[in-house]
Amino acid sequence: MKIHVTDRDGGEHELEATNGWRVMEIIRDAGLPITAECGGACACATCHVYVDPSWVERVEPRGEEENDMLDLAFEVQENSRLSCQITMTPEIDGLKVTLAPE
């Protein structure tokens, strides 16, 4: 499986994705600049990404904790997600996201 990530300079990266991993972990392990300060506990919002509009409907919806945390994040958009709260599954093979500004 793959995910496609656009970095903050507009660079595009195709990353190998493992079933059951969080999208944040895939991005972090590929060495892209995602802080993910809390390690995936939904407590920091430094793993903020924008999900490509064509994928928003296919990704599991935001949870309550994620919404609360996004309330504290900067430059939040309708397609904002915390990438530690998206689990990789075959259904989202090919997912496209963009790293949000820090």
Using CB under 6 A as the criterion, which residues of the chain lie in contact with ligand FES when the complex forms? 24, 36-38, 40-47, 69, 82, 84
Measured at CB, which residue is nearest to ligand FES?
84
**Helix and strand counts by DSSP (H, E) for the chain:** 2, 5
Helix (H/G/I), strand (E/B), else coil: 84: helix
The nearest distance, CB 13 to ligand FES, in angstroms, is: 19
Please identify, using beta-carbon distances, which residue of 1 and 43 lies nearer to ligand FES: 43
Dist. CA 102–CA 96, nearest whole Å = 19
> Element (H or E) spanning 21, and its range?
none
The nearest distance, CB 95 to ligand FES, in angstroms, is: 16
